[in-house]
Amino acid sequence: MKYQNRYIFSDTETTGRDEKDFIQIIQSASMLTDENCKTLDTMDVSCAPLPWTVPTPGAYLTHKKIDTLQSSATHYQMMKSIHDQWQAWSQPEPAIFITYNGHAFDEELYRKQFFWNLLDPFVTNTNGNGRSDLLMLTRLVSQLFPDLIDFEINKNGNPVCRLESVVGRLGLDTSNAHDALSDCVFMVELLKFFKTAQPKLVDDYLLQATKQGCAEFLAKTKVIGYRHQPFAKFWTYPIKFLGINPTNQNEAICVDLNYPIEDVIDLSYQDIMGYLSKPNAESPFKIIRLNRSHGLADANAFDFKFDCPLTELNSNADRYDENPEWIERVLVASTDLEQKQWPKKEVIEQTIYEKFFSNADRNLFQKFHAAESLDEKLSLCTRFNDSRAKEFGHRILFQEGKGNLPKEIITFNESLIKERWTAEGPWPCVETYLNEAEELKQERTSAADQHIIESVKNYLYNQQRGIQHG
């Protein structure tokens, strides 16, 4: 299997960093390139905060997009234009969607905000498309080829892999960092650099952009170097692929070759199940999610520093292959594990994974997006079976402000706005961020920063006062 030869780089700027289920994308940029990272097309769009979104001063100090506070473009318009463009770019030939730290942040924001706007949330990993997080590749490079880039070193002695820092060390001008389009340009240049310097590492990494490709890479690689970084620290494990969880096709079951093979093979069935249920760092088994980017590379092709000699690791891998019955027992044990039950989400923005919209509703969404008149959109909303879809549809009509909406829709959305700006909940608290604005004014004394802080503060204050006196 060959990875796709079209890349779509994307980045976001947002109203905040915390409370990720309730912050909002206010700028999104995308770049389409060929497999040589030659730019074919670009897109740069922005919008105003939704009336029920509380912007945070710290976020605006980072990206400086205070013009969006007065924008006439709506969130729905922006998200639909992004979705339409991505679909056009990835047809008929699929693409790899590339972000930087996107699996932890940007990707989830895109998914959830497509969901809020009745658009397909999974456009980046369906219809043959793949997704890849360039941060994971950069971390691999920092470990395997520390001299390739003069990485900044943090106080703990570890390479700094922030995008701005890395491309700055390559000589790029980073004065426009934290602008979504500039960050896309940085990603393109960084991948181009990696492709020239370490083509095999990049080819192997991009192969893993799809579930099928990741499974193929694991299956064909005898000893895999797995760079695991759950928090600030990282560990590198030599692992061997055992197989796919028969009841969860997104999970690959691997074994840590550092462990004495006799101890692992002699584990009881119950002990195997016990270890499979533990975090990767606490178990001889490593569970790899096939639908995410990981720090995976061919240990026999690159100079990983393991505690155990590579010759012994290869021998251990062969010995596991000589025990197919044991491998089958591990895979069967993985099917007996109780699936983790996540707490049910009560707030509508958080329910993307609770239940997918039906095909019937999704067909109606297409008609909703295409409808030109308010009456037609309202009529389509009444036909949605899922109550979440009805509410999202009414929110879209409210923010678009087209025509005269029924009084009950206006009242509902006004109540939503009041709740998000006055009531406690998992969403940003306006008082917290008004206080943050005052603290930042004392810390950030430049005229430019003061102007940004004051702009956000005034927005918060005016919105709050309007609600209180509305």
Segment 145-192, tens digit of pLDDT: 999 999 999 988 889 999 999 999 999 999 988 899 999 999 999 999
Q: Identify the domain boundary among 170, 200, 230.
A: 200
Asked whether residue 355 is domain-assigned, the answer is no
Note whether 51 and 188 are same-domain residues.
yes
Note whether 137 and 264 are same-domain residues.
no
Say which CATH number the domain at 122 has.
3.30.420.10
pLDDT computed for residue 1 by the predictor: 45
Asked whether residue 124 is domain-assigned, the answer is yes
Tokens at residue 268, please?
Answer: 């009881």
| Domain region containing 152 | 6-200
Say which CATH number the domain at 296 has.
3.30.1520.20
Assess whether pLDDT exceeds 80 at residue 470.
no
Note whether 232 and 164 are same-domain residues.
no
Note whether 43 and 136 are same-domain residues.
yes
Asked whether residue 80 is domain-assigned, the answer is yes
pLDDT digits (tens, 9 = 90+) for 415-424: 999 999 999 9
Judge contact between 240 and 316, C-beta under 8 A.
yes
User: 410 versus 305: which is more confidently predicted?
Assistant: 410
Note whether 195 and 230 are same-domain residues.
no
Instruction: Indicate if the alpha-carbon torsion angle 310, 314, 315, 316 is positive or negative.
Output: positive
Q: Identify the domain boundary among 134, 165, 200.
A: 200
pLDDT computed for residue 345 by the predictor: 81
Note whether 77 and 49 are same-domain residues.
yes
Asked whether residue 356 is domain-assigned, the answer is no
Note whether 241 and 307 are same-domain residues.
yes
Assess whether pLDDT exceeds 90 at residue 265.
yes
Q: What are the DSSP calls for 254-275, one per residue? A: EEETTS-HHHHHT--HHHHHHH
pLDDT computed for residue 341 by the predictor: 65
Asked whether residue 341 is domain-assigned, the answer is no
Asked whether residue 32 is domain-assigned, the answer is yes
pLDDT digits (tens, 9 = 90+) for 329-385: 999 999 987 666 667 788 999 999 989 999 999 999 999 999 988 899 999 999 999
pLDDT digits (tens, 9 = 90+) for 269-302: 999 999 999 988 899 999 999 988 888 999 999 9
Which amino acid belongs to residue 316? Answer: N
Asked whether residue 344 is domain-assigned, the answer is no
Tokens at residue 84, please?
Answer: 């339409």
> What's the average model confidence in pLDDT over 140-144?
93
Note whether 146 and 45 are same-domain residues.
yes
Note whether 23 and 87 are same-domain residues.
yes
**Count: domains in the chain:** 4
pLDDT computed for residue 340 by the predictor: 63
> What's the average model confidence in pLDDT over 390-417?
92
pLDDT digits (tens, 9 = 90+) for 11-55: 999 999 999 999 999 999 999 999 999 999 999 999 999 999 999
Judge contact between 210 and 293, C-beta under 8 A.
no
Note whether 63 and 98 are same-domain residues.
yes
Note whether 76 and 107 are same-domain residues.
yes
> What's the average model confidence in pLDDT over 197-211?
95
Predicted model pTM: 0.94
Assess whether pLDDT exceeds 90 at residue 437.
yes
Q: How far apart are CA 161 and CA 151, in angstroms?
A: 8
Note whether 180 and 273 are same-domain residues.
no
Q: Identify the domain boundary among 335, 351, 373.
A: 335
Asked whether residue 303 is domain-assigned, the answer is yes
